[in-house]
Amino acid sequence: MKRSKKIWIWLSLAISSMVLIAVCALTFNIETLFAIARLNIFFLLGAFSLRILSLLFWTLRMKVMTGSLGYKVDMPYLFNLVLVNLFAGAITPGQAGGDPVRVHGLHRASVKVGDATAVVIMERVLDGFVLVIMGILAVFILGPVWERLGTGLAVAMLLGWLFIIGVIALIAYSMKRPEPAKMMVRSLLGWIENHFPGETIHRMVDRADEEMETLILGVRSFAGNSRGLLLGILWTASFWASEFFVASVLLMALGQPPFIAESYLFQLIIAVIMMIPFTPGSSGIAEISAASLYALVVPSSILGVFILLWRGLFFYFNIVAGFLAGLHTYRKDLVAED
């Protein structure tokens, strides 16, 4: 593993660990020990199973999207790719590192680079679309809860929504007017080639127009496939719904009410904030956001343990499972070379 990646891993772990330790230390008391002793292992296993189910929904989405473009990629391969993507996302700001990993992984499965990029971009578009719809519904259904959040969180949520809508609008503009988009890509790659010369960058510059054309055709093809688009939205909504419900199951494991409506709203806010590239894997940001929100409904003695369990499933699990999946891929490549 490259030294730069190791630095990102340790930085991400350090930030998350320090914030978790601070939250646990500030909320620890005798009731915390009782809560840990009464921890329901069945609900805990249920939360873990639900997390795995959400990743299966992501895998199904990728299967549908690649299938819409005429490719047949095995489910086990795609599930392993989702796990590897989790590792990259956990050590990069805004979890953006997972996108190029998925593009590369799909390309290794004989998907054209442009089509692979189209799949990943459409995943982001569908995520943004579903989260915006969920947010609009939350505003109307959970109005009283919004009033308890305070101005700071409301502003952060609004900025996150604007960021998502801006990305979707930029992609839509690129599809409608591809030539300006191509010029931007050429300029960017030209700048990179001038400052970081190399054979790989040179090949990318030479193939920029071809791959951009493939990308545009891929996105248009997927957007024009109504069945694939509807299934993509279905699996995206299923993914986010199951991801959000994990927190409620963890609360039940700690003997608390699930606070389903409030928890869905909190998870929605956290998900949007985490898309903004602040820290690697959104470490620190996620813990602070979750602690601030769940403090409204969860006893302080439970809060630290809850945040620890929640980040265990959504951050530390990502690093461990993603690393093992990457190691599995590396070993398969070595066997193939032999």
Per residue in 211-229, pLDDT tens? Answer: 566 666 666 666 666 777 8
Task: Tell me the per-residue pLDDT of 114-138, one tens digit each, with 9 for 90 and over.
Answer: 788 888 888 888 888 888 788 777 7
Distance, CA of 163 to CA of 167 (rounded, Å): 6
> In sequence order, which residues have a C-beta less than 8 Å from that of residue 227 and are 6 or more positions away?
68
State residue 2's pLDDT score.
Answer: 59
- Percentage of the chain beyond pLDDT 90 is 21
From CA 40, how far away is CA 46, in angstroms rounded? 10
* Separation between Cα atoms, residue 146 and residue 314, nearest integer Å: 25
Question: With 70 as the cut, is the pLDDT of residue 22 above it?
Answer: yes
Q: Which two tokens stand for residue 169?
A: 């609008």
Q: Which contacts of 208-212 are long-range, i.e. CB under 8 A and separated by 24 or more positions? A: 208/182, 209/182, 210/114, 211/112, 211/113, 211/114, 211/117, 212/114, 212/178, 212/181, 212/182, 212/185
Question: What is the pLDDT confidence band of residue 185, given thresholds at 50, 70 and 90?
Answer: low
Res. 204: pLDDT tops 60 = no
Is the pLDDT reported for residue 104 higher than 80? yes
Band the pLDDT of 300: cuts 50, 70, 90. confident
Mean pLDDT score of the chain, rounded to an integer?
Answer: 79
How many Å apart are CA 257 and CA 247, to the nearest integer? 11
Least confident of 194-208, 224-238, 253-267, 296-310: 194-208
Does this model's pTM top 0.85?
no
Q: What is the number of alpha carbons within 13 Å of residue 79 lying toward its C-beta?
A: 10
The answer to whether residues 212 and 183 touch, using CB atoms and an 8 Å cutoff, is no
- Whether residue 91 contacts residue 280, with contact meaning beta carbons closer than 8 Å, is answered with yes
Say how many CA atoms lie within 13 Å of 138 toward its Cβ. Answer: 21
- Average pLDDT, integer, range 37-65: 94
3-state helix, strand, coil in the chain (%, to 5): 85, 0, 15
The pLDDT of 32-58, averaged and rounded, is: 92
Rounded-to-10 torsion of CA 121, 97, 314, 286 = -100
Give 135's Cβ-side CA count (13 Å radius).
Answer: 21
Residue 251 has pLDDT above 90, yes or no: yes
